[in-house]
Amino acid sequence: MNGQTAGAPSSSRVIETNGVRLHVLDCGTGAAPTALMLHGFPEGSYAWQDMAGRLAGAGYRVLVPDQRGYNTSDKPPHVSAYNSEIIARDVLGLIDASGCEQVDLIAHDWGGHMAWWTAARYPQRIRRLAVMNCAHPQVMFRNVLLNPRQTFKSWYVFALQFPWIPEWILGRNRFALMRKMIAWNGDAGPMTSAEAEQYIEAWSRPHAFTSMINWYRAALRTFPLRLDESRIHVPTLLIWGEQDHFLDRALAQQSIAHCDQGRVVYVADASHWVHHEKPDLVARLIRDFLAETSPASPATGR
């Protein structure tokens, strides 16, 4: 997270959508093509600052929200408020607030889950979809149940279902376990102490950490758990760090199989945090993909 590209104007504002107020970073110019970037667990809009700056510097307008439950956005108290269908309507409201009929949707982790979900439910509002290290919702659901490798990797999802205990364990010693979990080390080096403090500050806000975990709790406790229509009709790019400790590599190709026009790019020496570890590569892949005028190829590659 090296800050925004010089010359790319930015502002911070609050957008009201679907009954919540979301803090949004608005980069670039209002007349440019618009991209919406969705962060995952346990990050926030700050995790996309560098990438948003790169895209804004390339001529895009970029909206980067703190999703509901995170950082300075609203934090509804009930687990049911973090149902995927409800959050998809947050995303739809952000698209409406952009003033655009369509946006390019870029996302990672839980943000990727919501990007898949939104593209399946509201394909007319998405021009292109770029996801990093997140499986299509139905692929994830099926593999957690039927793929022993993924079931083992997803053990923490079940552990997070307990009330208050995960918050107590993970919050100890200034979130020491959380910081260890997301300690990336890539081309630009490891997470800096300043970046770590930014995460700790966001996690420490009142009700924030419970709200963040409630995304996991809602996934197992509330409906709908599955999409009625699972096909992704918009051109799709899936970037997959192969050293992911949380997701089985097989989920990538299974996810692309749900796409009419999609491809996966594997990054052999990157983990779940591919956007932090390989920012130059990821930025180039995304810029090239968004600039394409023809549909995404169904081929896979590195």
Question: Pick from 47, 63, 45, 58: which is nearest to 103 by CA?
Answer: 63
pLDDT of 31 > 90? The answer is: no
Instruction: Answer yes or no: are the C-beta atoms of 264 and 253 closer than 8 Å.
Output: yes
pLDDT of 300 > 60? The answer is: no
Task: With both helix axes pointing from N to C terminus, report the angle between 193-203 and 208-221 in degrees, rounded to the nearest 10.
Answer: 70
Q: What is the 3-state secondary structure (H, E, C) of 215-245?
A: HHHHHHHCCCCCCCCCCECCCEEEEEECCCC
What's residue 4's pLDDT? 44
Summarised one tens digit per residue, pLDDT across range 54-108 is 999 999 999 999 999 999 999 999 999 999 999 999 999 999 999 999 999 999 9
- By CB atoms closer than 10 A (0-12, 13-18, 19+), residue 200 is middle
* Every domain of the chain and the residues it spans: 10-291
pLDDT of 153 > 80? The answer is: yes
What's residue 32's pLDDT? 83
Summarised one tens digit per residue, pLDDT across range 178-214 is 999 998 999 989 999 999 999 999 999 999 999 999 9
What's residue 223's pLDDT? 60
What's residue 229's pLDDT? 85
How do strand 20-27 and strand 61-65 relate by DSSP bridges? Answer: antiparallel
Pick the CATH number of 10-291 from 3.30.1370.60, 1.10.260.40, 3.10.310.30, 3.40.50.1820: 3.40.50.1820
Distance CA 104, CA 35 (A): 5
Distance CA 156, CA 145 (A): 14
pLDDT of 301 > 60? The answer is: no
pTM of the prediction? 0.94
pLDDT of 45 > 60? The answer is: yes
What's residue 2's pLDDT? 44
Please give the positions annotated as active site. 109, 216, 272
- What is the distance, to the nearest Å, from the Cα of residue 296 to the centroid of all Cα atoms in its chain? 21
Question: Pick from 141, 144, 117: which is nearest to 131 by CA?
Answer: 117
User: Which of the four pLDDT bands, split at 50, 70 and 90, describes residue 1?
Assistant: very low
Side chain identity at residue 138, one-letter code: Q
